[in-house]
Structure formats: structure tokens, C-alpha cells
Amino acid sequence: MKKLILVYNANSGWHNSVIDSFHKVMSPKTYNCNLCAITFGIFSENEIWKKFRIETNIEMQFLHKNEFLKAYKTKEKYDFPMVFKSEDNEIEIVLKSQELNALKTPQDLINLIKSNI
């Protein structure tokens, strides 16, 4: 079974969420997770992204980088954010951070996902 694993360039936890939200407001140009910035606003999920996520038949898993590194123990060094494809207990890079960081809108991300799976 195929699924996408979307990994944010942020760590999990309430404290980190507050800091990330504050950073998005105060200095959006220096915020280091464009995947998060595109899929989530300050307080809630982006509506265009949410509609796609709910209506698509693509299974998705969302992880913070510390959660990903714990779940998928690997010796490789990754530059997050990233999107992986998981199939038969193997993961493969679908979208690298450079591609994700170049996106401007949720629709750009949706189009990129559709063209890469």
C-alpha cells in the first residue's frame, strides 16, 4: 500500500507549536518550514489544502522531523521539509526541501503532489 509521508521542518510539541506560530507572524520570510506555512495558517489548516487532503484517495501521514527520525531510523541526513512515499516498508523521496521551499500556494503543492505520484 502506498502512502505519502509529509515531514515538517519543525519538532513536535505544544511549546514548539507556539514558537512556530509566533515566528510565522513576526518573521514569515525567515520561517524555515514552507510545507507548514503552505498547509497551515497561524491557527488552522489552510482550507484549499484541507479540502484536497480530505477528498483525495492518497493516504497521507504527517510527521514533525523528530517524529520521522524516531519512526524511520536511518543513517541518511535529510534537509526538511520533505515528502516521502512509503510502500512495502520502504521509503523513497518524492519531494525534496528545495522543491517544497519554492512553492507559493497550497495549490502549487497539490499540483506537485499530483504530478509526482
Single-letter residue type at 103: L
Q: Which residues of 63-89 are buried (b: 16+ CB within 10 A; e: fewer)?
A: bbbebbeeebeeeeebebbbbbbbeee
Q: Please state, in angstroms and rounded to a whole number, the distance separating the CA atoms of residues 72 and 108.
A: 27
Report which of residues 14 and 106 the model is more confident about.
106
Q: Please state, in angstroms and rounded to a whole number, the distance separating the CA atoms of residues 114 and 106.
A: 12
Closest CA to 100 of 92, 87, 110: 110
Q: How many domains does the chain have?
A: 1
Which domain, by its residues, includes 101?
3-116
**25 pLDDT band (50/70/90 cuts)?**
very low
Task: Calculate the average pLDDT of the chain.
Answer: 82
Q: What is the pLDDT of residues 30-79, one digit of tens each?
A: 546 778 888 987 778 889 999 999 999 999 999 999 999 999 877 788 99
